[in-house]
């Protein structure tokens, strides 16, 4: 299944998320690519929307990143994977620091001087354009909880079944419109998003 554009992807995702209209959630895009999808979902749910940025630690297209970083400066690491790769504590810390710096630069560019949204006691829907790996989304869930979210839902138009299942351990719920049996990053299901 391919979506024509971010609007169609957002509309389809909003249909699945319609039950979260009451009480009103806050919809948060996790990346630049997720912004148009999140805007459509927020409009359909009559919910406010903003950004809670997240980045994977490791190669962008890796199905198994080392972890992720997210606002407000939190990070998660897959310690068994770090050990298996033989990375030292210093190497790992440098990777985390580099991604936190990139995250801060993204926030400055996209949000200017706007502060992080107030999530205390709120139902939060974290939107990604695709759940191809779990590092950034895990960090975003931790970031939302650090900011006081009462309930955290991770949602995307398309995702890898393995990633969706793994995120269920962190999020209160994971919602995805389409999970293909075989993931093909090169011919991406979200090429137009």
Residue 112 has pLDDT above 90, yes or no: no
Strand pairing class (151-158; 49-51): unpaired
pLDDT of residue 16: 92
Are 155 and 174 in contact by the 8 Å Cβ rule? The answer is yes
Are 68 and 54 in contact by the 8 Å Cβ rule? The answer is yes
Percent of the chain scoring above 70 in pLDDT = 91
pLDDT of residue 33: 93
Strand pairing class (151-158; 173-178): parallel
pLDDT tens-digit series, residues 161-184:
999 999 999 999 999 999 877 666
Residue 187 has pLDDT above 70, yes or no: no
Please tell us whether the domain made up of 6-187 is placed in CATH 3.40.50.2020. Answer: yes
Question: Length of the chain in residues, anyone?
Answer: 193
Could you tell me the residue ranges of all domains in the chain?
6-187
pLDDT tens-digit series, residues 44-72:
999 999 999 999 997 555 557 889 999 99
């Amino acid at each position: 299944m391919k979506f024509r554009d971010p609007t169609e992807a957002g509309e389809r995702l909003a249909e699945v998320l319609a039950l979260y209209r009451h009480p009103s959630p806050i919809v948060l895009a996790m990346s630049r690519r997720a912004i148009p999808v999140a805007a459509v979902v927020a409009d359909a749910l009559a919910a406010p929307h903003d950004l809670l940025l997240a980045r994977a630690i490791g190669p962008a297209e890796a199905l198994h990143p080392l972890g992720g970083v997210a606002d407000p400066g939190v990070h998660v690491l897959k310690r068994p994977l770090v050990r298996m790769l033989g990375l030292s504590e210093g190497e790992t810390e440098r990777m985390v620091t580099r991604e936190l710096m990139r995250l801060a630069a993204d926030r400055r560019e996209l949000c200017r001087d706007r502060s992080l949204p107030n999530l205390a006691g709120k139902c939060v829907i974290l939107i990604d354009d695709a759940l191809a790996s779990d590092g950034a989304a895990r960090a975003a869930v931790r970031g939302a909880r650090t900011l006081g979210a009462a309930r955290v839902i991770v949602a995307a138009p398309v995702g890898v079944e393995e990633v969706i299942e793994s995120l269920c351990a962190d999020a209160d719920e994971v919602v995805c419109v389409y999970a293909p049996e075989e993931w093909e990053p090169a011919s991406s299901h979200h090429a137009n998003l």
